[in-house]
Amino acid sequence: MLKLRLQRVGRKNDPSFRVVVTESQNGPKSGNFLEILGSYDARQGVPQLKGDRIKHWLSKGALASDTVHNMLVRFGQLEGDKINMLPTRKPAEVVAEVAPAPEAPAPEVVAEATAETPVSEAPAEVVVEEATPEEAPAPEVTEEAKAE
């Protein structure tokens, strides 16, 4: 099956690509392709495409990769909607089975507990001050520790 895909060319940290027609079994770095259909410099963002040759190969049954399809739609070479290339999310049921949520007490139990505890007996905030080593009391020595 023929595919329209991007082939990386250029130097390191300088992303530029060729749009090529190749067999789908060929790897992206193999260098085996039938025709160069254009180029795309990712830094500048504007591709130079041969629109008539792209339409020719698409009419012959070649498929565009998701990235090339979105690029052709974006720059007006192809009609249609863009393809979402992000992975699909798992349904909520599967996520709940993997990581079960902690069980919360029933609402009636919480209501009863709050009704029984008067507000005036609620514990006040406790402020704990850290003691400096000079102020800290010495540990008590027990009789068992003296015997050892």
Which residues contact residue 4 at a Cβ distance below 8 angstroms, ignoring those fewer than 6 apart?
19, 20, 21, 37, 54, 57, 58, 62, 63, 64, 65, 68
Residues of the domain holding 51: 2-74
The total number of structural domains in the chain stands at 1
Q: What is the pLDDT of residues 6-32, one digit of tens each?
A: 988 889 999 899 999 998 888 777 888
CATH of the domain at 44: 3.30.1320.10
Its sign, for the CA torsion 44, 49, 51, 54, is negative
| Listed ranges 70-74, 84-88, 97-101; the one with the highest mean pLDDT | 70-74
Residue 63 within a domain = yes
pLDDT of residue 21: 92
Residue 11 within a domain = yes
pLDDT, mean over the chain: 77
DSSP state of 124: P
Tokens of 111: 């209501």
Does residue 56 have a pLDDT over 60?
Answer: yes
Residue 101 within a domain = no
Lookup result for tokens 């008590």: 140
